[in-house]
Amino acid sequence: MADELDTHEKRHGIMGDTSWDTPVCVTDMGSVQARLTFTDVKAHEYVDTEDVLREKVALLSSMIRESDEMITYTGAGISVAAGIDDYATKVKDASITRASDVPRVKDWKDARPTVTHRVLTAMYESGYLKHWIQQNHDSLPQKAGFPQSSLNEIHGSLHDPGTPPSSPTPSPNHHQTHHQSPARFSKPGGTV
């Protein structure tokens, strides 16, 4: 078993059942690191058994129903299915998450929201999700109908002139080293 899965918490989180099976490595990247800095986790990909996945979904569902102030924090991975590349993924087309029918957009501004963007919007509209913090500025939450007033785009926004992306021609999922300063947060009634 890979070092990154050497404890139950690393395999299933602190709320996971100790009887759950260990995830199976489906993409072995050898010694390739998931990130160049700040971690020594390898770029392998794992999947749970269907039974464990079903139990994890049930646990997540109960956590969502019980939450009064749920927020979500997302990154480039949720936009891959829209045809926007995730610069950090090492396995690229070999990834199990890269479906063969993923659109290939030439201009990321033409990308359409994914199922994830639409589900998060529906969760907001149903009162479950209170706020969305995202690293992308690809406009897909807004295209899915998510309100700008409940969205923080930490690398800038194409929809909020008060917090433009910090590069004149940004890649929507590229983590930039220069951020606008001071940090600004949109909330109902104005920008903080």
Looking at the annotation, which residues are catalytic? 155
Q: What is the chain's Cα-based Rg?
A: 18
Burial 87-125 (b: 16+ CB within 10 A, else e): eebbbeeebeeeeeeeeeeeebeebebbebbbebbebbe
User: Which residues, including other chains, have CB under 8 Å from residue 65's CB and lie 6 or more apart?
Assistant: 128
Count of positions (residues) in the chain? 192
**Measured between alpha carbons, how far is 72 from 1 in angstroms, rounded to an integer?**
30
Judge whether 127 and 150 are in contact, CB under 8 Å: no
Distances (CA, A) of 2 to 7, 29, 48, 95, 116: 10, 11, 15, 18, 29
User: Which residues, including other chains, have CB under 8 Å from residue 192's CB and lie 6 or more apart?
Assistant: 184, 185, 186
Question: What are 73's strand-pairing partners?
Answer: 133
